[in-house]
Amino acid sequence: MQPFLAIAGLVALIKRRELAVAVLRGARITWASPALLAMFGLEPKTATGKRFLDLVAADDREMLARVLDETPGAESPVTAFRGMRADGSLFDGELACSAFELPGGAGAVVTVNDVTEPRRALTRLSHFAFRDALTELPNRALYFDRLRQVLVDARRHGNAFAVLVADLDGFKEVNERFGHDTGDALLQVAAKRLRAASREGDTVARLGGDEFSVILTRTASAEDAAIVAGRMVHAFDAPVVVAGQSCRVGISIGIALYPANGKDMDSLVADADGAMYAAKRAGGKCFKLAGQSAA
């Protein structure tokens, strides 16, 4: 009677705390708590006898089959999986499994948590932590993290890539003449134009103020980088109209190549920054390669 009393006490606790729990025998559900039934959109009659793996997304079933060990004493770590509701919709779940000698034979007690909303909240928090609030571009922290990853990959596989540093020409005058709201709107348009001129897989980031930087992956030569930089310069040929104001701004871009101009993050960014100032001295609205004359 002791195992039965223990299970009865567990059932009472589960009901009181609204835990999503199922008892399995032979990988099939012999009992499910109200919270688990609600989580999967099941009725008690349809749940009993159902294979638990039928409540799991197809791609996760093989992995989870190894977790649902019914050998008495076996315990699984918390395992992430995608649960499938009766209507076919999926949710992010976490599961823990403990096996016991239950009345009638060995079986497993499975506890499930729906972590969809916490994961979404974490994703949103991560998004805001690594995105520039004004332009929604990657911010400085995310930019340097991606640059570090690209550098590691380049060293490992012998790839070349380019770093661009860009600064708007005439932004200060627009900001002073029309105010910060217009200046902010101008930065948002500038971000969209730079994204549109970049390639898939490239990173366009705002480092601060009117300074942007771009990581050009898969860039084998200065000519490849120059094509993208040229598109970015020409993206500002047309005036930017914000809040009824027509603002003419340009952009100055400096280019540094890995490994030709630098073999670490600091030197690459510094060389690209120096080339950007060379473009400024040349009159702006152009790009310069690291080491190239400002003339």
Catalytic residues: 210
88 burial type by CB count under 10 A (0-12 exposed, 13-18 middle, 19+ buried): exposed
Residue 73 sits at φ, ψ, to 5 deg, of 95, -15
- 232 CB contacts (<8 Å, ≥6 apart)? 164, 166, 193, 194, 197, 198, 214, 251, 253, 287
Q: Would you state the structure tokens that stand for residue 12, as one six-digit string?
A: 């009472």
Cα angle value 153/159/160 (rounded, 5°): 115
DSSP structure class, residue 200: T
Question: Distance between CA atoms of 166 and 289, rounded to whole angstroms?
Answer: 12
